[in-house]
Structure 1
Amino acid sequence: MLRHKFQPGRLTAGVFLTAAGVTYLGDASGAWETPWFVIIPMVMGGLCLAAVTGMVTGAIRRGRAARREVRNAREGATTP
């Protein structure tokens, strides 16, 4: 399997969508009664949290890349 970057936004979205699926599965199997309108805030909240997580992750990665470029430029300038 190829290695890839960890994407916490996608993980967050997956967790909330899985939780919504488990909630509906429990309702369908008769384990508990779930009103139809409960899932909407769960899914929307999870997607909003995933979006914020993704934006924060992107900002952190851009900041690290910029600092790395500055550091490499300084090292290249001081080396004869």
Structure 2
Amino acid sequence: MQIPFLTFFVIYLLGLFMFLLLALINIYHIIRFGWFSLAARFITLIFVLISIGIAAITAMFLLPIPWSDSFGLVQLVSFF
């Protein structure tokens, strides 16, 4: 049985979508209830910058992967 790498990429994209949804809810609540505080603005900026940095680093790792390739479960089980 062959599993394409694209399957794992779709799972990663679903996780990324969930993170973005929760991050937008988080940022909305910070803006709605604490935007007048300098600390809230600073923390929001740090959160956004770190999130963009992590997304850029994962994009650098994911770009060279040939997503059309696949691997077999038999090969994986025989490895162990």
Task: Report the TM-score range of the alignment, normalised by the length of the smaller protein.
Answer: 0.3 to 0.5
After TM superposition, the score normalised by the length of structure 2 is 0.44
Q: Which has the larger radius of gyration?
A: 1
| Alignment TM-score, normalising by the size of structure 1 | 0.44
Q: Which has the higher contact order (CA 8 A, sep 6+)?
A: 2
The structure with the greater share of residues assigned to strand is 2
